[in-house]
Amino acid sequence: MSDKPTTIKEIAKILKISVSTVSRALNDHSSIGLTTKMRVKKLAMELNYEPNQKAIQFLQGKSHIIGVILPELSESFFSTAISGIEDVAYKRNYTVLLAQSHDDADREKLLVEKMKTQRVDGLLVSVSKTTSTYEHFEVFKKLNIPVVFFDRIPPIKDIHYVASNLENGTYEAVNFLLKKGHRTIGMINGPTTLVASHERKEGYIKAMISNRLKFDPSLIVSCDLSEDGTIDVMNTMLNHRRKPTAIVTFNDYVALFAMRYTRSLELEGIDFVSYANLPIINYMDYTPIASVEQFPYKQGKKAADILIDLINRPKNETGTEQAYFNVVVESELIVPTPK
């Protein structure tokens, strides 16, 4: 039927009124009479009129699109986070342009370029593991396009970000194990370069101290998070003069490796606590007895909200100091209630 979509012009012509009147009528402008409004709206309906967004975007310089760059959707943290982002975007009438860096810094850089040429209204980024320079984000500042980082945030100043703090959750985790009677608690931590490793360690220490226990640094070992690496550090743990009766692992994968290994040695009775990464964990035979939750959905939501706020904030008066949003989502220990 209709080859080309209806335009405002056609409506104007049919009704023998001007385009501006039609435009105002459709937008419920106060200076248009009720009868005219009705006539316009009725015809618009009949002709299946849809405003040409491309024209509007062009005119107003807004796309109502936010770009999202993250490492890997197959990591459940991110696929959950994107749901939070998407839901907020949806509610606030934005749409989500998605791209994965696959933890490749070069690809990330290209994606940032693409987002720029698409002229997204704002950008949400969780940086790739291999990213070490951050100049490619500078352009956005010049273009006055806000960028909000989440979860994996770059170690630089003057950025907006939302991230989780694992100290709290880890504190609760260790505390929980202590309350359960454990006195020798091991921790399989990640590479010391990661902020996340540091936070875990701090939480651990804090818990020990607040329980008036001595902190034994040799009970915290770092690990490359591979299966072989996990087995190595498990051996270290198990041969420790104080063999741990409970272990906090860096993530669910490590927990799985470690638990499998202890079972293969027919060791029983070591309690594991991990960090929530894998949804599948609920379906498994052997699982950690508790998990530190990082609330990816909430993080995504928060980050998107901040970004859209930034997009819509009143034009920053020149001279005024820019304020940066730095939001920390606290982690929390979740102990499954046995059914």
Of residues 40-59, those binding DNA (CB under 7 A)? 49, 51-52, 55-56, 58-59
Residue 240 is a binding residue for a copy of itself (CB under 8 A): no
Return all residues near 58 (Cβ < 8 A) that are at least 6 apart. none
DSSP 282: G
Residue 263 is a binding residue for a copy of itself (CB under 8 A): yes
The minimum distance between CB 140 and a copy of itself, in angstroms, equals 12
Which amino acid does the sequence have at 56? I
**With CB cut-offs between 5 and 8 Å by kind, which of a copy of itself, DNA, none does residue 280 bind?**
a copy of itself
Is 237 in a helix, a strand, or coil?
helix
Q: Draw the binding track, 123-152, toward a copy of itself (x: CB under 8 A; -: no contact).
A: -------------------xxx--------
Question: How far is the C-alpha of 231 from the C-alpha of 243, rounded, in Å?
Answer: 15
**With CB cut-offs between 5 and 8 Å by kind, which of a copy of itself, DNA, none does residue 217 bind?**
none
Question: How many CB atoms sit inside 10 A of residue 261's CB?
Answer: 16
Is 284 in a helix, a strand, or coil?
coil
Residue 14 is a binding residue for DNA (CB under 7 A): no
Q: Containing H/E element for 93? A: none
Pairing status of strand 220-222 against strand 326-330: unpaired
Pick the piece of the chain touching a copy of itself (CB under 8 A) from 7-15, 96-104, 180-188, 265-273: 96-104
Is 75 in a helix, a strand, or coil?
coil
Question: How far is the C-alpha of 213 from the C-alpha of 177, rounded, in Å?
Answer: 13
Question: How many CB atoms sit inside 10 A of residue 73's CB?
Answer: 14
| Between 26 and 139, CB nearer to DNA | 26
Q: Give the CA angle between residues 126, 195, 142 to the nearest 5°.
A: 40
Helices (H), 47-146: 53-60, 76-91, 105-117, 138-142
Question: How far is the C-alpha of 38 from the C-alpha of 162, rounded, in Å?
Answer: 47
Q: Draw the binding track, 241-280, toward DNA (x: CB under 7 A; -: no contact).
A: ----------------------------------------
The minimum distance between CB 209 and a copy of itself, in angstroms, equals 35
Residue 154 is a binding residue for DNA (CB under 7 A): no
The minimum distance between CB 304 and DNA, in angstroms, equals 25
Of the candidate residues 158, 266, 268, 285, the single one contacting a copy of itself (CB under 8 A):
285
| Between 220 and 259, CB nearer to a copy of itself | 259
End-to-end Cα distance, the chain: 59
Return all residues near 269 (Cβ < 8 A) that are at least 6 apart. 245
**With CB cut-offs between 5 and 8 Å by kind, which of DNA, a copy of itself, none does residue 9 bind?**
DNA
**With CB cut-offs between 5 and 8 Å by kind, which of a copy of itself, DNA, none does residue 265 bind?**
none
Provide the β-strand partners of residue 265: none
Chain residues that interact with a copy of itself, rule: CB under 8 A: 1-3, 5, 48, 50-55, 57-58, 61, 63-65, 73-74, 76, 79-80, 82-83, 86, 90, 95-100, 102, 114, 116-119, 142-144, 253, 256-257, 260, 263, 278-280, 283-286
Contact residues for DNA, defined by CB under 7 A: 4, 7-9, 16-21, 23-24, 26-27, 31-37, 49, 51-52, 55-56, 58-60
